[in-house]
Amino acid sequence: MDTHGTPVRLSELRGTPVVLVFVPFAFSGTCTGELCTIRDNIELFDDAGVRVLVVSCDATFSLRAWQEKEDYTFDLLSDFWPHGEIARAYGVFDDERGLAVRGSFLIDADGVLRWALVNPRTQPRDLETYRSALALL
């Protein structure tokens, strides 16, 4: 569900490549830094025709406040309830902490997973890693 309460389904985005970016917590330093890097380099994704979808187990109202504060132009999706269902489906849910770990998944226009990366919770992702992944499309 996006920050306005609208459900988002990958099946409805078929025809558009998507990068799913799982983050542990809204407003945390590492997560904010990662998403500000994406925000400041959004043309990298736009030029490749890739839609960025950020997924967190935070509630929609927290994600909306974060999106507005940081001026994120991409969608932030809440995986709050059922708690972590999407993160679990991608194998990036930490049951002990109740959060998504830093997973990134590039799905092509046909719905095929083309690239995946899972970083430790405290290790930010690198923009060059995304650049290399986008070259796979």
Average pLDDT, the chain: 96
Q: For the chain, which residues make up each domain, given as ranges?
A: 22-134
Provide mean pLDDT across the span 68-89. Answer: 97
Mean pLDDT of the 109-132 span: 94
Would residue 36 show up in a list of annotated catalytic residues for this protein?
Answer: no
Query: What was the pLDDT predicted at 121?
Result: 79
Note the CATH number of domain 22-134. 3.40.30.10
Per-position b or e across 41-60, b if 16+ CB within 10 A of its CB: eeeebeebebbbbbbbbbeb
Taking 90 as the threshold, does the pLDDT of residue 49 lie above it? yes
pTM for the structure as a whole: 0.96
Distance CA 115, CA 106 (A): 5
Kindly give the pairing relationship between strand 51-56 and strand 18-22: parallel
pLDDT in tens, 53-73: 999 999 999 999 999 999 999
The residue from 31, 50, 52, 99 that is catalytic is: 31
Cα(91)–Cα(60) distance, rounded to whole angstroms? 22
pLDDT value for 22: 98
For a pLDDT cut of 90, what percent of the chain falls above it? 98
Q: Give the contacts of 58 (CB within 8 A, at least 6 positions apart).
A: 25, 26, 66, 78, 80
pLDDT at 15 over 90: yes
Please check the confidence at residue 122 and state whether its pLDDT lies above 90.
Answer: no
- Reply yes or no on whether the pLDDT at 2 is more than 90: yes
